[in-house]
Structure 1
């Protein structure tokens, strides 16, 4: 289910986070679906359990998953709020890239206004 690259620049825990968020966005993972156990995913990917723990903790902090003691890690149910937060984070990242590439704040606002009119 999960694919990681050991040669890339992106840390393994971030690759896991990105894939789980993508699976949620695509509907592959649904609210209350159980994620693989830390030990199982670590074994499957050939990584340390601490890496999986870190990914799951960050996902929980961001509101994508919740931990049910002794039962496992599950996908959260309120996906509208999560989608909104995810989109806002992506927009801020894109806006930052645009502005560091020379696009002014006014030009960025103009582009957004033009999109709203369509």
Structure 2
């Protein structure tokens, strides 16, 4: 049985590699869609050139950098959250009222938007 690479054994590297592959796939689909739809006669312009491979390569490289980094960045930022749909958001923190003897919680209405700016003059 072949040994797995030590690099593929790292969960973070696997996460980034999978999301980079997703970004490359999106970039290739976008380039194919642009060539198929031909907006502004882009396909005609590219293939009328002496070396269309250069233009296609640069366009694909730009899309790969953009969508690959966006997919990898979103995967990194979503690492700490549960994406399975459990719950409505963050948890409420309990106030440390027990620290002050005899203290009671008083509900307060928070103002927001233009009313708060008009009433107080600034944020």
**TM-score under structure 2 normalisation?**
0.24
State the structure with bigger RCO (CA 8 A, min sep 6), 1 or 2.
2
Bigger radius of gyration: 2
Structure with greater strand percent: 1
Q: What is the TM-score with the length of structure 1 in the denominator?
A: 0.25
